[in-house]
Amino acid sequence: MISQSEQLRHFSPNYLNLIILPTEACNFRCTYCYETFENKKMPRPVVAGIKSLIDRRGEDLDRLDITWFGGEPLLALDVITEISKHALDVAKTEGFAFHSGMTTNGYFLNQDRFLQCVDHKIDFFQISLDGNPDDHNTSRKLASGGGTFDRIWSNLIAMKGTLTEFSVQLRLHYTMQNFISVGQFARRVRDVFGNDQRFRYDFHHVARLGGANDESITIVSEQDQKEIEGHLWDASGLLRPAVQDESYVCYAAKGNSLLIRSTGRLAKCTVALSDSCNDIGWISENGEVCIDQKKYQRWIAPLVEADWENVGCPLPSVMQQVELDGAN
């Protein structure tokens, strides 16, 4: 449960959170991925639309957050830097705060690209590793089939070697089959990065998210997750973070958060990309946001209605409402 003031803050017109997919192509073919990679690099009219949206909203904003997602966003670094530079210029003119981060597979994040990102105030990175090199290269492989671990690891080491201010969230994936070896690998992570406060960690189970290989993924119950993750924190020696605040609200439930796909289509959730209930509108070249209000209202309903069971992930309630309505 959250306070009424906190509830209202997630609808404030003075804050805007944009999750932008500069491309939906990817150089990886992770075995559990749910994306289709059909949509490629963001075309010029959509780039112009995002820049115009920032212009339109800039005067009223206290803060703008941009999160880069994909596909693999670094395949379209030119799009990222162009929009980021524009956001920085508008932020300076209008006086609002600007923060930016990226979810990346880390393969292209060499020192040059890393420093380009930081120069454009992209200073948070979420990067996933699937355990030791053999396990990781089996599940997080290139589209060509090649391994990816060594290059990601060397990029992380290079980042650690800089004096730059940044933050990396290392997400360590586990399954029912490999969690023992993930715990052993996590100790290696601790030995290499554990004394650097710019690196943070979490353990996350591989889940069925709608990908072609879902049936091959063993479901991990909530109780098993709790027990396995307790083991992983103990085995790794990593400092366990504080328990997540029960008042957590998913970005998809917030009224001032929007996902912009590479095509210019608008959505709320980064997981349900193939579901029509998550296709809520489009952005025009002049920055006008055109939204299907019925679809949009389904996503924010848990927060509006104080449905605390679903504010942490509104997708189940959205799907339930779609079923009740008989169409989406």
Percent pLDDT > 70 in the chain is: 98
State the average pLDDT over residues 29-55. Answer: 97
CB–CB of 131/174 below 8 Å?
yes
Instruction: Report the chain's mean pLDDT, rounded to a whole number.
Output: 96
Q: What is the mean pLDDT of residues 178-203?
A: 97
Residue 6, pLDDT score:
85
Strand 167-174 relative to strand 122-129: parallel, antiparallel, unpaired? parallel
Is pLDDT at 328 greater than 60 in this prediction? no
Residue 322: pLDDT above 80?
A: yes
User: Which pTM was predicted?
Assistant: 0.96
Position 183 scores a pLDDT of: 97
The label of the residue with tokens 């597979």 reads: 105
Amino acid at position 146, single letter: G
- Contacts (Cβ under 8 Å, ≥6 apart) of 309: 302
Q: Could you read off the pLDDT of 79-134 as tens digits, one per residue? A: 999 999 999 999 999 999 999 999 999 999 999 999 999 999 999 999 999 999 99
Class of residue 158 by CB neighbours under 10 A (exposed 0-12, middle 13-18, buried 19+): middle
Mean pLDDT of 288-293: 98
Q: Which pLDDT score, from 0 to 100, does residue 268 have? A: 98
| Helix, strand, coil fractions of the chain, as percent rounded to 5 | 40, 20, 40
At residue 51, does pLDDT exceed 60? yes
For 13, the enclosing helix (H) or strand (E) is: none
User: What's the pLDDT at 1?
Assistant: 73
Give the pLDDT of residue 326: 80
State pLDDT tens for residues 54-74.
999 999 999 999 999 999 999
Collapsing DSSP to helix, strand or coil, 84 comes out as: helix
Angle, helices 315-325 vs 293-304, to 10°: value is 130
Within the chain, strands assigned E span 15-20, 63-68, 97-103, 122-129, 167-174, 199-205, 257-260, 265-267, 281-283, 289-291
Predicted local distance difference test score (pLDDT) of residue 244: 61
Note the pLDDT of residue 2. 82
Residues 6+ apart with CB under 8 A from 130: 136, 138, 139, 140, 172, 173, 206
pLDDT in tens, 132-178: 999 999 999 999 999 999 999 999 999 999 999 999 999 999 999 99
Q: Is the pLDDT at 287 greater than 90, yes or no?
A: yes
Q: How big is the CA angle at 209 (ends 268 and 19), to the nearest 5 degrees? A: 30
Give me the pLDDT at residue 327, please.
56
Question: Of residues 296 and 243, which shows the higher confidence score?
Answer: 296
pLDDT band at 245; cut points 50, 70, 90: low
pLDDT of residue 38: 93
Q: What pLDDT sits at residue 242?
A: 77
Start-to-end Cα distance in the chain: 29
Give the pLDDT of residue 282: 98
- The residues near 243 (Cβ < 8 Å, ≥ 6 apart) are none
Q: pLDDT tens digit string along 251-286?
A: 999 999 999 999 999 999 999 999 999 999 999 999
Q: Residue 259: which residues within 8 A CB-CB, separation 6 or more?
A: 18, 19, 20, 21, 69, 266, 267, 268, 269, 270
Architecture of domain 10-296: Alpha-Beta Barrel (3.20)
Write a three-state SS string for 264-321.
CEEECCCCCCCCHHHCCEEECCCCCEEECHHHHHHHHHHHHCCCCCCCCCCHHHHHHH
CB 13 within 8 A of CB 58: no
Here the tokens at position 83 are: 């929009």
CB atoms within 10 A of CB 280: 24
